Amino acid sequence: MNEAIVQMRKVRKRFGDIQALDNVDLDIYPGRIIGLVGANGSGKSTLLRHIIGLYLADEGDCVTFGCKAARLGASQLSRIGYVHQEGELLDWMTVRQLIRYISAYYKNWNSQLEERYISDFDISLKARVGSLSPGQRQKLAILLAMGFEPEFLILDEPASALDPIARAQFLDLLLGIIQDSTRTIIISSHILSDVEKVIDHLLIMKEGHLLRDCSFDELREEFCRLKVTSLNGALPAELPFAEIVDCTREEGRAVLVLRNYSQEKLEVQAQTLNCEIEIETLPLEELYKIVVTE
Amino acid sequence: MNILRANLKHLYQCRSLWFWYFIILCQFPLLLLPVSRWEFDRFLGYLVLSFLCGLLTAGLQMEILSKPFSFCLPGHRKIPRQFIFRTGFVVNGLLGLVFLAHPGLGFPYVLVGAFVGMVFYLLGALGGFRDMNRNPYLVLFPLVIFGSVFFESDRILQQMIISSPVQIIIVSALISWLFWVRLGREGLARQYCGKISLGILASPNYAKIKKIRHAEMVRRLGKKKTPFSDTVENFFQRRMSQRNFLSRGKCAWGHLYIVSGESLSVLRVRQLAMMFGLFVIILGYISKNGVALSNILFILPVILAGQLDLLPYRGILLPAGRGDRFYAAVISGLTITLLTTLAIAVIAFISILLEPVLPDITLKGHTFGYHAMNIRYCFVTLPLMPICFAIATLIPRRPVLKIILSIGLMYVCIGFYVAAMIGEIQFELIIPSVLMISWGISLLILRYVCMRRCLGGNG
């Protein structure tokens, strides 16, 4: 496996009374598309800002591209694109001025890509950045972060202010970007249905702790929804399945969420119970709820 | 919750406002001084206090009215008016007592004094409902006080109060009634609801100030017919493009662009030149021991520097590390300090050229001669600005504290200036060490912020 581009070791960060990050250990390998999910205030943005050196850890180490985050220089930062959750932009400039200003820093700025985004996102170049709607600002922030085709892209709530059409466009764009297998992307979002379409790796955070750091397929294979329908009218009071996470029952029917299941074993058990089973994978939203409430 | 408690709760929550209450409290002894010293011939100073109280009380109502959906509150139309008038009655009833100190004037004159005070209080209230960015009161208020005292218009009003109390009460009551009607209008709450305005009470709210400043900037930039911002942009872009990618030079020019570009883009050179011209000429005529008041220009940049964050937009990710940001911030601070000092030196030089040309003015028996600025005080600006930059960069989210510290620094400079004037300190000897100390401290603070602090967000 390639060397990790981000290594966090026992990172702790506190803001006043709030423990924003607590003993976070993380390795991010190149080429991954990572979903970072968690409730508001769970430490997602704090974690991302540590990676790019905007925040400094109280304890522990954070190394990005082989360099301590606090000492990241122009050569490392020029490889990272970042969409800010709060959409901090230079409000007094026009869109054209801002794009020209940011692009001046990057040797590999792709003007064709810039033009494509401007036309796709329908951004007016003459408008003042400060007068843009939240959605337009977010589109502009995405353009600025992607315009130089960074090898490491950090998207902190990139679609939160976008309307459904713009969100679909953004997802298409993201799907286009991930065709390049060398690019690493972290996407933090509350819209889990969008995230699950693109990610291959998942980080789940809760109250500053990293609850899960696993491949998305691994998590999906860990849990399943099992629909059991009795063929003779009734189900036994005790269902013989191991590691039941959740169970809803009606007469002759049960819907279960199981952990660490084996399809073959389930089929054998169904035969002994004289019932019909249907196995479904769980959507990210449900997987997230299970992991967080455990 | 009654009206008084609701308002007091709001006031209590804005603790930084206590600074303003302290400032107003400080005015009491100054305004009532003539009474305490038994100088009965002029005692309308309390009207200034009435005005300030009106400004603050209405500002508070404005804060409450501008909250989203405040018009849904029960009694939303009546509460601001009731609160303003009730407070006005109490304040002016008390302040009117100064008339009791005047020999021969009895209790009825307290009533007259209270009515007149009410008019000034309500004028202040009118100002409290206005946007502070475009509030002419802020500029006119000191001028009106100065003019009134100089031309003794307060004596005229005082004489009118004593000679025609009934007529004064009728006129004051009529004006108060007009305000009563205006403040009770149907759409008052809806008019101010959700309005982003920088009222007098908004000063401690950093996020609000930032939002309003940007909205104002966008409005002003949008109104400009010939976009000066393009000239500014081209200047900086040209310099940036001449530097290598990822170099510190590019970073420094880019940084200077975002630190100063916003202000430079809306700079109105002609208006600014006129303003400073008038400033230097008028204050040049006001002097003490041959030293013109216009010398205050040398310490005024602290206000500019105290507002300028050398690390703006900390959350934007550019290919510039913390070390690059520090380097760029130092270069920006140094450039702005040198250019500002140069501009003031030019103004001082022009004032020297004007000195033999401008005639003496005789006003009410006093002769005022024009005095030029003392150009060697340019050396006061040089150590002053870096300290203010450092304060502004260290506490970017505490606007009131920044103002207090900047004003404190101005007083230190005035003390220094007075000491230099009376020959207590050797100006030329002390300046090099002051320069070294101030720049040294500023560099340490900037380095600490750039290298050790979190940037952006909660940082």
Question: Among B143, B277, B322, B133, which Cα is nearest to B213's?
Answer: B133
* Min Cα–Cα distance to chain A from B455, Å: 5
Q: Which residue has the higher pLDDT, B239 or B433?
A: B239
Q: What pLDDT was estimated at residue A96?
A: 93
Q: What pLDDT was estimated at residue B285?
A: 85
Cα A230 vs. chain centroid, distance in angstroms? Answer: 39
Q: What pLDDT was estimated at residue B323?
A: 93
Q: What pLDDT was estimated at residue B133?
A: 55
Cβ <8 Å between B257 and A107? no
* Min Cα–Cα distance to chain A from B376, Å: 37
Cβ A200 vs Cβ A187: under 8 Å: no
Find which of A67, A85, A91 to mutate to test the B interface (most B CBs within 10 Å of its CB). Answer: A91
CA distance B32 to B95: 9
Q: Which residues of chain A make contact with B216, given a CB cutoff of 8 A?
A: none
pLDDT in tens, A229-287: 888 777 787 887 778 888 888 888 889 888 887 888 888 888 888 888 888 899 999 99
pLDDT in tens, B134-154: 555 566 676 777 777 777 777
**Residue A41 three-state SS:** coil
Q: Which residues pair with A250 in a beta bridge?
A: A253
- For the residues of A184-231, what is the DSSP string, one character each? EEEEE-S-HHHHHHH-SEEEEEETTEEEEEEEHHHHHHHEEEEEEEES
CA distance B414 to B409: 9
Cβ A216 vs Cβ A200: under 8 Å: yes
Q: What pLDDT was estimated at residue B188?
A: 75
Percent of chain A with pLDDT over 90: 51
Q: For chains A and B, what is the number of CB pairs under 8 angstroms?
A: 124
Mean pLDDT in residue range B220-231: 65
Whether pLDDT at A55 is above 50: yes
Label residue A112 by pLDDT band (50, 70, 90): very high
HEC per residue, B162-186: HHCHHHHHHHHHHHHHHHHHHHCCC
Residue A86 sits at the chain B interface (C-beta within 8 Å): yes
Whether pLDDT at B334 is above 80: yes
Q: Which residues of chain A make contact with B211, given a CB cutoff of 8 A?
A: none
Whether pLDDT at B24 is above 70: no
HEC per residue, chain B: CCHHHHHHHHHHHCHHHHHHHHHHHHHHHHHHHHHHCCCCCCCCCHHHHHHHHHHHHHHHHHHHHCCCCHHHCCCCCHHHHHHHHHHHHHHHHHHHHHHHHCCCCCCHHHHHHHHHHHHHHHHHHHHHCCCHHHCHHHHHHHHHHHHHHHCCHHHHHHHHHHHCHHHHHHHHHHHHHHHHHHHCCCCHHHHHCCCCCCCHHHCCCHHHHHHHHHHHHHHHHHHCCCCHHHHHHHHHHHHHHHCCCCCHHHHHHHHHHHHHHHHHHCCCHHHHHHHHHHHHHHHHCCEECCEEHHHHHHCCHHHHHHHCCCCCCCCCCCCCCHHHHHHHHHHHHHHHHHHHHHHHHHHHHHHHHHCCCCCCEEECCEEECCCCCCHHHHHHHHHHHHHHHHHHHHCCCCHHHHHHHHHHHHHHHHHHHHHHHCCCCCHHHHHHHHHHHHHHHHHHHHHHHHHHCCCCCCC
pTM for the predicted model, two decimal places:
0.79
pLDDT in tens, B77-130: 677 888 899 889 998 988 888 777 777 777 888 888 899 999 999 988 888 777
Residue A10 sits at the chain B interface (C-beta within 8 Å): no
Cβ <8 Å between B322 and A70? yes
Residue A251 sits at the chain B interface (C-beta within 8 Å): no
Which residue numbers of B have CB closer than 8 Å to A's CBs?
Answer: 214-215, 217-218, 221-222, 229, 233, 237, 240-241, 245-247, 250-251, 254, 257-258, 261-262, 265, 313-324, 451-459
Q: Which residue has the higher pLDDT, B35 or A47?
A: A47
Whether pLDDT at B252 is above 80: yes
Percent of chain B with pLDDT over 90: 20
CA distance A187 to A197: 12
Q: What pLDDT was estimated at residue B226?
A: 46
Find which of A92, A129, A156 to mutate to test the B interface (most B CBs within 10 Å of its CB). Answer: A92
Contacts of residue A46, Cβ cutoff 8 Å, sequence gap at least 6: A13, A20, A21, A55, A208, B457, B458
Q: Highest-confidence range of A201-210, B144-153, B177-186, by mean pLDDT? A: A201-210
Q: What pLDDT was estimated at residue B290?
A: 73
Structure tokens at A55: 């925040």
Whether pLDDT at B217 is above 50: yes
Partner-chain residue, chosen from A75, A89, A91, that has the shortest CB–CB distance to B246 = A75
Q: Which long-range contacts (CB under 8 A, 24 or more apart) does B362-366 make?
A: B364/B150, B364/B151
CA distance B421 to B423: 5
Question: How much is the ipTM here?
Answer: 0.88
Residue with tokens 């004006």: B175
pLDDT in tens, A58-70: 999 999 999 999 8
Label residue B34 by pLDDT band (50, 70, 90): low
Mean pLDDT in residue range B11-32: 65
Whether pLDDT at A137 is above 60: yes
Percent of chain A with pLDDT over 70: 99
Alpha-carbon distances, residue B256 vs A95, B239, B325 (angstroms): 19, 11, 11
Label residue B324 by pLDDT band (50, 70, 90): very high
Mean pLDDT in residue range B397-423: 73
Q: Highest-confidence range of A51-65, A77-91, B65-79, by mean pLDDT? A: A51-65
Q: What is the mean pLDDT of chain B?
A: 79
Q: What pLDDT was estimated at residue B39?
A: 53
